[in-house]
Structure 1
Amino acid sequence: MKLPSPRGPLSENLVDVLHRGSGDLSTEPDGDEDVQLSLFICYEMAYRGWDGVDDEWEWHPSLLRVRADLEQRFGERLGRPEPADPQGVAAALAAIVAADDGPSMSGYLRGRATREQFREFVAHRSVYHLREADPHTWAIPRLGGRAKAALIEIQLDEYGGGVTGRMHQELFKQTMAWFDLDLTYGAYVNWVPASTLAVNNLMSYFALHRARRGAILGHLAAYEMTSSLPNRAYGNGLRRLGGDARATAFYDEHVEADAVHEQIAAHDLCATFAAAEPELAGQVLWGARCALMIDNLWAQDVLDAWAEGRSALRQ
């Protein structure tokens, strides 16, 4: 993935230093676009890296200092976890999901979206779906016992049971291909706004820190527990626009798989984890709330743009 175009002084500084392989990283960010892109640039070093950038930058002290400062800024938006009863985690997760009243992206795509709007939606989501499951996989070595086994069970489905063509990352490429989108990993990072980058940064903010292992589990649970019905709507909306079986396979796969994952995530994963580490029960619920909050902000951003008759992409 090529380094993206800067969106402010810090991302410009980062891109310049990483491209040259040396330099001073001490610039302050200017605005949320600059913050979110800069944080995404830092985080991507822990995934597949950037073309022409030495992998050693992943652990370079100066880059880690920038990342820590950006994480502090991002964390201020998220609040902090509160103590929770570990025995009530599964029920509390269900209550959080039931109380969510965010904008209905799935309803809009099912019945009203134009082909171009659905295509934009797919471009936004490609930043996550082309590495789907990868952020949550960071939690596996940080768990033990039943919680670890439950997470592996979920992730095994996400990775297609070891069959490349069944990996959800690969299925999403079929949807992108139907829309004639660029299938390259990270191709649309330059196109998406800060709200889209924040959705992806939140996962890394939780996943790359062992101290937030409860939060990434809650994040995954929120995703699994709010996935089946929206994906049915996405599939039906794409069929309304003429999408064939290959184009809708990604969404259709999630309708069935996530109906099962919902129960595994709430009970076998999160409830079991909370019982084993009760001091982190509240962190699990916090992770779920943050997931829904950041996703809702992104959905509102996109829907507002469409309501105003403009693109929700930057270019």
Structure 2
Amino acid sequence: MLVPVPRGPLSGWLAARLLVHDDVATAPPSPAVTAHHVDALHGDDLQLALWMCYELHYQGFDDAAADLEWVTDVLTFRAELERVFVDALRAEVGPIDVRPREIPTRLFEVTSDDSGRSLSNHLQRRADRAAFAEFVMHRSVYHLKEADPHTFAIPRLRGAAKAAMIEIQADEYGGGRVERMHSTLFARLMDSLRLSTAYGEYVDCAPGITLATSNLMSMFGLHRRWRGAAAGHLAAIEMTSSLPNRRYGQGLRRLGGDDLACAFYDEHVEADAVHEQIAAHDLCGTLALDQPEVAEDIVFGAAACMRLEQLFADHLLDAWSAQRSSLLPAARRAA
């Protein structure tokens, strides 16, 4: 994967920094100043810059030096982006007050809110094959490395909470069988839709809100300070996954998908029904009792996940309602 095409001053500075392999002449622009003029959660430039920073800790870029993962100026720049991101998330989620023993109950409350528009219902019943393929292109930003962001949090946990997260993650990695890894199943789904399975292939056409859903879990996983939020985020995914994935599978079959293509969705219907209880009680409930100081972070992680997922759904549904693509226009991603 190559360094993405910049979308503004923030990603432009970072792209230059990564490609030059040396200090660039100018200081990076201020993410805080940029955030005054754009919606930080939807901002293409800000979210792409943050995604590029995080990608240095995953597969990296073929045209950037491997040792840039830990250079001071990039990490300082990333920290400023993260502050803007967290401020925007807190404004969306609002204040949180919870007692450690209430964590499982609160998680079920946070994840049971179905007042927003349903993307899974649309894909199940009404979306055409082109729209379904667009949805899969969006999701490839995360699903081709599924489980990796949350796995960063494992060494930051201890005891029963750590064991619970490992139990969940082991299933995500197919129990050690590459053909059962969820990322492998997703690549097979993409192939059935005649989409490229190359890692990072569709980042250049992914809008800011799509990148934000991926950036959220990377930020939580890469910071010990956010270990509680990482657990809450994982719990929110596991607790809200079974029904939507059942609908996605039904929608794909309606459009001609066979069992091989739908295996990714079928796997999540079964696995996440089990993971729901493990995540709420064994992971998050135990973590909150063991480390009460992260209780509010657990709920914040879950609530932030749910809010970004609704904003993502709204973006796709608004675009399709207006009979336009939910991806960035080709002119925006042309070099």
Question: What band does the TM-score fall into relative to the shorter chain?
Answer: over 0.9
User: What residue in structure 1 maps to residue 29 of structure 2?
Assistant: 27
Match of 2:186 among 146, 156, 172: 172
Rounded Cα–Cα distance in structure 2 between residues aligned with 1:2 and 1:167: 25
User: What residue in structure 2 maps to residue 272 of structure 1?
Assistant: 286
Rounded Cα–Cα distance in structure 2 between residues aligned with 1:51 and 1:114: 35
Report the CA distance between 1:82 and its aligned residue: 3.3
Q: Output aligned runs, 1:77-226, within 5 Å.
A: 77-79=88-90, 82-226=96-240
Asked if the contact 1:105–1:303 (Cα under 8 Å) also holds between the matched residues in 2, the reply is yes
> In angstroms, what is the RMSD of aligned CA positions?
1.2
User: What residue in structure 1 maps to residue 49 of structure 2?
Assistant: 38
Q: Output aligned runs, 1:266-305, within 5 Å.
A: 266-305=280-319
Q: Report percent identity of matched pairs.
A: 53
Does the alignment pair 1:247 with 2:249? no
SS at match of 1:183: coil
Query: Which deviates the most, 256-265 or 98-107?
Result: 98-107
Asked if the contact 1:178–1:247 (Cα under 8 Å) also holds between the matched residues in 2, the reply is yes
Asked if the contact 1:83–1:279 (Cα under 8 Å) also holds between the matched residues in 2, the reply is no
SS at match of 1:17: helix
Report the CA distance between 1:81 and its aligned residue: 6.2
Rounded Cα–Cα distance in structure 1 between residues aligned with 2:67 and 2:100: 40
For residues 47 and 294 of structure 1, do their structure 2 counterparts lie closer, same or farther at Cα, with a shift above 3 Å needed? same
SS at match of 1:248: helix
TM superposition score normalised by structure 2: 0.92
Rounded Cα–Cα distance in structure 1 between residues aligned with 2:81 and 2:67: 20
- Structure 1 unaligned blocks of 5 or more: none
SS at match of 2:74: helix
Does the alignment pair 1:17 with 2:17? yes
Rounded Cα–Cα distance in structure 2 between residues aligned with 1:10 and 1:156: 37
Asked if the contact 1:81–1:285 (Cα under 8 Å) also holds between the matched residues in 2, the reply is no
Which amino acid in 2 is paired with 1:35? L
Report the CA distance between 1:28 and its aligned residue: 3.6
- Structure 2 unaligned blocks of 5 or more: 331-335
User: What residue in structure 1 maps to residue 244 of structure 2?
Assistant: 230
Rounded Cα–Cα distance in structure 2 between residues aligned with 1:213 and 1:103: 30
SS at match of 2:179: helix
User: What residue in structure 1 maps to residue 333 of structure 2?
Assistant: none
Q: Structure 1, residues 92-113: CA drift from partner, whole Å, max 9, x if none? A: 1001111242220100000000
User: What residue in structure 1 maps to residue 4 of structure 2?
Assistant: 4
Which amino acid in 1 is paired with 2:162? K
Report the CA distance between 1:257 and its aligned residue: 0.2
Match of 2:82 among 66, 71, 76: 71
Asked if the contact 1:81–1:282 (Cα under 8 Å) also holds between the matched residues in 2, the reply is no
